[in-house]
Amino acid sequence: MRIISGKLKGRRLRAPKNLPVRPTTDMAKEALFNILNNLYYFDSISVIDLFSGTGNISYEFASRGTKSVYSIDADYNCIKYINTTAKELELDINTYKNDVYKFLNKTSLNADIIFADPPYDFTTEKFLEIADTVFNRKMLKEEGVLIIEHSKHTDLTSHKNHSYDKRYGGNVFSFFELPSEKEEVEN
C-alpha cells in the first residue's frame, strides 16, 4: 500500500500480515481521492474513517493536511498499527478501538466526510445500518458525504440518501448525502 498524494506522496507502507483486513486498492483509492479533491479543501475538513483496518484511507487524508482524522476499528492490532505508523510518519490521527456500530450510536463527533469500509461479506442490511445511523444521528456536517466501500455484488441504491456509485473493478464506492434545501422543500 502506498500514500498517493500530499506531504508523504509515494511513501510505501507494509502492514503486518496477521491483520484481518482488505485494504482499498491503490487504483480505487486514487480514483476516490480524485473525486474528493474536486469537492473539498482537505485542510479545512474533518474525517471519520470507519472499519479503518490498516489506516490506509486515514493516512491518505492526513498526508493531504486534513484538519482532523478519526480512525475507528474493533481490532486491537489494527489500532496499534495505525498508532505506530501515524507516530512514525508524524501524522495527527485520532484512533478509537471500538465496534463501529457502538461507536456510531454513542459518539458526539461529526465530520465533513465519513468513510466506511466494512467487510465485503456483510449483509446489505448491515451496510445500510451504517447509513441510517449516520443520518439519524446527524453526523455529517452541511455539504458532507458518507462513502461506503463495498463489492459490486452489494446494492445500496435503495437508501433515501444514496446519491451515486463509482465502480473500480470489483470495488464500489456508494456516496450518500443530505438532501439539499431545494429537495427538502419539494418533498
For the domain that residue 86 is a member of, what is the CATH number? Answer: 3.40.50.150
Confidence of residue 182 (pLDDT cuts 50, 70, 90): very low
Please check whether residue 166 lies inside any domain of the structure: yes
Alpha carbons 60 and 185: distance in angstroms, whole number: 37
Please check whether residue 163 lies inside any domain of the structure: yes
State what percent of residues in the chain have pLDDT above 90: 74
Please check whether residue 11 lies inside any domain of the structure: no
- pLDDT at position 13 is 84
Please check whether residue 22 lies inside any domain of the structure: no
Instruction: Check if the beta carbon of residue 52 is closer than 8 Å to that of residue 71.
Output: yes
pLDDT of residue 187 exceeding 60, the answer is: no
Listing DSSP states for the chain in one string gives: -B--SSTTTT-B----TTS---PPPHHHHHHHHHHHHTT--GGG-EEEEET-TT-HHHHHHHHTT-SEEEEEES-HHHHHHHHHHHHHHT--EEEEES-HHHHHHH----EEEEEE---TTS-HHHHHHHHHHHHHTT-EEEEEEEEEEEETT---TTSTTEEEEEEETTEEEEEEEPPPHHHHHH-
- The closest of 185, 138, 147 to 168, measured between CA atoms, is 147
List the grid coordinates of 167: 465502480
Please check whether residue 158 lies inside any domain of the structure: yes
Give mean pLDDT, residues 110-123.
94
Instruction: Check if the beta carbon of residue 21 is closer than 8 Å to that of residue 29.
Output: no
111: containing domain: 45-186
Alpha carbons 28 and 21: distance in angstroms, whole number: 16
Please check whether residue 91 lies inside any domain of the structure: yes
Alpha carbons 102 and 185: distance in angstroms, whole number: 33
| Global confidence as pTM | 0.92
Length reported for the chain: 187
Count structural domains, the chain.
1
Please check whether residue 124 lies inside any domain of the structure: yes
